Structure 1
Amino acid sequence: MTGPESYPASGSEVVAQEPSVELDVFPPQQHSRWTVLLRLILIIPQAIVIWALGIAAVVVVICGWFGALFLGRLPDWCSDFLRGYTAYSTRVYAYGMLLVDTYPPFAWNPQDYPVRVLFHPPTPLNRVAVFFRLILAFPILVLASFFTSGWTVIAIIVWLIVLISGRMPQPVFEATAAVLRIQLRTSAYTYLITPTYLKGIFGDRTPVVQPGFTPAQPAQSPTRPLWVSSGGRTLLIVILVLGILASIGQSAVSTTSYDDTDTVSVSYIAD
């Protein structure tokens, strides 16, 4: 497998047929069981940094939204920060989701890290789409939350598999990478980094292999293009269903808790 040093660094630009965001993930040959065992503890400092950067990102997105309405594009300083933040958070999420074993550095644009986010060069934005961006992004935000919640449900199983075997099975890697890419592309669209709507939910289109077939564009990494096997697609569907069920269950619990609180309040007033 070709090493990550052969590819552009995180936050660099890649020219594609349409403005999109691509993801390179280079998994280790073998995970360190100690780092897998302590993953939740090890990721705490990074989670604090992501939380702080996320607050700043909200402010920058608001400024960028107004700027894009007037300029027809995201201001350069907003674009630079949001791209950096998106790439940084993606590296942390990849580490937390056990896709890689190398600890993410506290750096805005690290070199030779096994998770790379590649952005298309800045492009003009449709002002109408910018104005309604939150409404347009709502369906994919909900969809991404389903996939994230569903993966969280099976996270303990994935953790045990990697802890015991020291490896992530290929279908699990494909499904997990797909969930991470869904999060990445949803964030990029919501943050006005790209005008391209979420695509490739179940991976990229796999070419039909025929005798003498030579791909026009050879694979750049194990996740670019992201070819998901039938096992990986099945797991993605399971993750989606689990995420929907988890969201429904959480809503039901919240509604029940609210009704119970309201009943207690009424009883207290009556007494």
Structure 2
Amino acid sequence: MTQPTWASKLPDEADEWLPVLDIPEPQAQRRLTVLVRWILLIPQFIVLVILGIVAFFATVIGWFAALFTARLPDPIARYLSGFLAYETRVHASALLLVDVYPPFVFRPVSAYPVRIEVRPGRLNRLAVLFRIILLIPAAIVQSLFASGWYAVCVVSWLVVLILGRMPRPLFEATAAMLRYTMRYNAYVAMLTSAYPKRLFGDRDFPGTPDSAAPVSATRPLRLSTAGTVLVTLFLVIGLIVNIFGGTTAPPDKTHDSAVCGAAPGCRTDAPF
């Protein structure tokens, strides 16, 4: 894939590749599929749980291998990359970002509107060794973001059901959550050395021409003022839920396995 000008690495990212997410602009959605979206996705959730169990052991084995070789073995990297892409497609559908049913295909699906790009490469052994400690700040942010979104998900669902499409600001905030979660999960699985970042979208890179053509609605992800407000609101609501709700478990273990397939950030493969 040709790398657009705006996606060129900054000086502090010279040795890392930040995973990217491609989602098309929000489109009209069928109200019937919106109404029963999570029911339709039950088979996908079951598959995710099964694949996630395998991914858990692959991640553990990959962690030991990366300590000695500073990179994931190719078979493990391929499996974890495929799993990350699969779960991202399912999550995008569950979050009402697209109205196309995700295929039961593990390999990359170029025709599907939701795609990711990861580039497993060389890892810092010290960062691999202390990955569980390094993950704590990102895990807190991801947990707050996801908790805030799910606290108001019924409202979001009603909005899409009534309007027949997702309003642009809501799309931006939801896509920002999915992208950050995908990057967090990629870092957990050691598919990248790049720490999860750009929660509030992609800032303008120095020297980027205004005519640089975007690849998709999320590449680059430009948040409007309303989208930024929603992201902030989700984080605040998530903080309130965590402080006063008393029901939020540690990140990646928030839901039981029956719901885990639908919830970004809730994974059965994370060894942490």
TM-score normalised per structure 1: 0.82
Deviations 1:147-205 (A, max 9, x none): 11111011111111111110111100000000000100000111100000111111011
Q: Which one has more relative contact order, counting CA pairs under 8 Å at least 6 apart?
A: 2
AA partner of residue 146 (structure 1): L
8 Å CA contact retained: 1:27, 1:99: no
1:227 alignment partner, SS class: coil
Q: How many residues align?
A: 237
8 Å CA contact retained: 2:26, 2:166: no
Structure with higher helix content: 1
Residue number among 210, 218, 242 corresponding to 1:223 in the alignment: 218
Residue number among 236, 244, 253 corresponding to 2:239 in the alignment: 244
1:233, CA displacement in angstroms? 0.4
* Counterpart-to-counterpart distance in 2, 1:23 and 1:33: 25
* Counterpart-to-counterpart distance in 2, 1:20 and 1:214: 21
TM-aligned CA distance change 1:230 to 1:206, over 3 Å: farther
**1:31 matched residue in structure 2:** 29
Indicate whether 1:110 and 2:105 are aligned. Answer: no
**1:260 matched residue in structure 2:** none
**2:175 matched residue in structure 1:** 177
1:253, CA displacement in angstroms? 9.1
1:117 alignment partner, SS class: strand
* Identical residues among aligned pairs (%): 45
Residue number among 53, 65, 68 corresponding to 1:67 in the alignment: 65
1:217, CA displacement in angstroms? 3.3
8 Å CA contact retained: 2:109, 2:115: no
Q: Which runs of 5+ in 1 are unaligned?
A: 1-6, 9-14, 255-271
8 Å CA contact retained: 1:28, 1:101: no
* Counterpart-to-counterpart distance in 1, 2:17 and 2:101: 30
1:52, CA displacement in angstroms? 1.2
* Counterpart-to-counterpart distance in 2, 1:80 and 1:146: 30
AA partner of residue 169 (structure 2): P
AA partner of residue 162 (structure 1): V
AA partner of residue 136 (structure 1): L
8 Å CA contact retained: 2:93, 2:99: yes
8 Å CA contact retained: 1:30, 1:167: yes
* Counterpart-to-counterpart distance in 1, 2:139 and 2:232: 17
Q: Which runs of 5+ in 2 are unaligned?
A: 10-15, 250-272
* Counterpart-to-counterpart distance in 2, 1:253 and 1:144: 12
* Counterpart-to-counterpart distance in 2, 1:197 and 1:47: 27
**Equivalence map 1:81-96=2 (5 Å):** 81-96=79-94
Bigger Rg over Cα: 1
**Equivalence map 1:1-271=2 (5 Å):** 16-17=8-9, 18-27=16-25, 29-108=27-106, 109-120=108-119, 122-206=120-204, 214-215=209-210, 217-251=212-246
1:28, CA displacement in angstroms? 5.0
TM-aligned CA distance change 1:127 to 1:98, over 3 Å: same
